[in-house]
Amino acid sequence: MQSEAVRQKAAEQDRRTLTVYHIPVCPFSQRLEILLTLKGFHQVDFQVVDITRPRPEWLLEKTRGTTALPVLETEKGEIVKESMVILQYLEDRFPEPAVAQRDPYRHAVEGMMNAMEGDFGAWGYRYVMNQDPDEREAFRQGMLDRYARLNDFLLEHNPSGMYLFEDFGLAETVFTPFFMRFWFLEYYEGFDLPPEERYARVRKWRDACVAHPAAQQVTKEQIVKLYYDYAKGAGNGALLPERSRSSFALEPYWRSRPWPPKDKYAHHATDGELGLSG
Ligand code: GAZ
């Protein structure tokens, strides 16, 4: 029913605008929202796809069978996949104001920083999804090592500034959604950057990134509530045993649910405890 409504709406709009098919609260689609906000461009139709249900057939046809989102469809019906590629496409189509660096070397620098996003993001997700208490310390250390690497990169290229360059730009657009998702590490793992010099520069960067007005698409409360199932080891809308609803479900609305229990290792919250049975 939900996907039928989405399909109809997609057909109705007659492809006069760009369409992005996305999963709410997905860090990769938040990148696109941030970029568009920075550009002040609001003519993109964001169509929500419910990750807890099978992908609709019409969408699988567009993607030729791949299920990862976001996916952008142009006015001509062309399909662009992969958030980093979509960011570059939007930057190329709507160059003003520039978000990416124009100078070749500076663009290479932000490219090198962005080349760290996959490993950085994947580690944080593996950390929150870990269910073995004996591995906690190794995950924490691995996370700290990755923050230290970002710290070093920022010290090399902009030791005294706030962002990688003068303003919130492409690297910030790419990393900020992960910094926000990693609120789940703070809540479910008690993880935060220790107050040490080794992390001082990246802490300054991270704090400025999450506070930036163009990046306020999600809140800590929303992340913590929706990602409960990730903290219990179930990613991408998968269903945990003894549960009938994913914490990623669109209904009941997250704001009406209670804060989940923090103890991810010993306790298995029920639908009821998570406010999901209403
Ligand atoms: N490389 C793609 C991009 O666009 O940049 C990644 C897109 C992607 O993974 N999308 C996810 C998706 O659509 C939603 S967000 N999944 C459903 C499907 O059928 O593929 C991130 C992780 C991770 C696990 C989950 C996610 C995540 O590592 O947030 O690492 C970064 C998915 C275990």
| Residues 100-117: b if buried by 16+ CB within 10 A, e if exposed | bbeeeeeeebbeebbebb
* Residues sharing a CB contact under 8 Å with residue 73, sequence separation 6 or more, in sequence order: 15, 18, 19, 20, 21, 62, 79, 80
236 and 193 inside one domain: no
Mutation probe of ligand 1 site: the residue of 20, 28, 116 with most atoms within 8 A of C-beta: 28
Quote the ligand 1 centre to 156 CA distance (angstroms). Answer: 30
Whether residue 26 is contained in a domain is answered as: yes
Task: Supply 35's token pair.
Answer: 């970029």
* Residues sharing a CB contact under 8 Å with residue 103, sequence separation 6 or more, in sequence order: none
Mutation probe of ligand 1 site: the residue of 31, 32, 125 with most atoms within 8 A of C-beta: 125
Output the tens digit of pLDDT for each of the chain's 278 residues: 556 766 666 555 555 799 999 998 999 999 999 999 999 999 999 999 987 789 999 999 999 999 999 999 999 999 999 999 999 999 999 999 999 999 999 999 999 999 999 999 999 999 999 999 999 999 999 999 999 999 999 999 999 999 999 999 999 999 999 999 999 999 999 999 999 999 999 999 999 999 999 999 999 999 999 999 999 999 887 899 999 999 988 899 999 999 999 999 999 999 999 999 96
Q: Which residue puts its alpha carbon closest to atom 28 of ligand 1?
A: 122
Number of domains in the chain: 3
Measured from the Cα of 129, ligand 1's closest atom is 33
Q: Which residue puts its alpha carbon closest to atom 13 of ligand 1?
A: 68
> What is the CB-side half-sphere exposure of residue 126 using CA atoms within 13 A?
14
49 and 137 inside one domain: no
122 and 202 inside one domain: yes
Q: What is the pLDDT at residue 236?
A: 81
Question: Where residue 21 sits, what CATH number does that domain have?
Answer: 3.40.30.10
Question: Domain of 40?
Answer: 4-93
Q: What is the pLDDT at residue 52?
A: 74
Domain boundary among 53, 72, 93: 93
Domain boundary among 174, 192, 215: 215
Q: What is the pLDDT at residue 98?
A: 98
Whether residue 88 is contained in a domain is answered as: yes
Whether residue 65 is contained in a domain is answered as: yes
Question: Where residue 160 sits, what CATH number does that domain have?
Answer: 1.20.1050.10
Quote the ligand 1 centre to 278 CA distance (angstroms). Answer: 28
Task: Supply 123's token pair.
Answer: 């580690």
Q: Which residue puts its alpha carbon closest to atom 9 of ligand 1?
A: 68
Whether residue 99 is contained in a domain is answered as: no
> Positive or negative, the Cα torsion across 182, 186, 189, 195?
positive
Q: What is the pLDDT at residue 155?
A: 98
Pick the closest to residue 29 from 45, 9, 13 (CA basis). 45
89 and 22 inside one domain: yes
Q: What is the pLDDT at residue 10?
A: 59
Domain boundary among 190, 215, 240: 215
Whether residue 27 is contained in a domain is answered as: yes
Measured from the Cα of 70, ligand 1's closest atom is 4
Name residue, tokens 């930036």.
212
Task: Supply 240's token pair.
Answer: 């945990």
Using CB distances shorter than 6 Å, the residues near ligand 1 are 23, 26-28, 67-70, 82-84, 121-122, 125-126, 235-236
**What is the Cα–Cα distance from 149 to 198, expressed in whole angstroms?**
9
Q: What is the pLDDT at residue 105?
A: 98
Rounded to an integer, what is the distance from CA 54 to the centroid of its chain? Answer: 21
What is the length of the chain? 278
CB neighbour class for 94 (10 Å; exposed up to 12, middle 13-18, buried from 19): middle
Q: What is the pLDDT at residue 24?
A: 82
Quote the ligand 1 centre to 35 CA distance (angstroms). Answer: 19
Quote the ligand 1 centre to 90 CA distance (angstroms). Answer: 20
137 and 174 inside one domain: yes
Quote the ligand 1 centre to 68 CA distance (angstroms). Answer: 6
Q: In what order do the strands lie in the sheet with 44-48?
A: 44-48, 18-22, 71-73, 79-81
**Backbone φ, ψ for residue 19 (5° rounding):** -120, 135
pTM for the full predicted model: 0.93
192 and 134 inside one domain: yes
Q: What is the pLDDT at residue 13?
A: 52
**What is the Cα–Cα distance from 205 to 151, expressed in whole angstroms?**
9
199 and 235 inside one domain: no
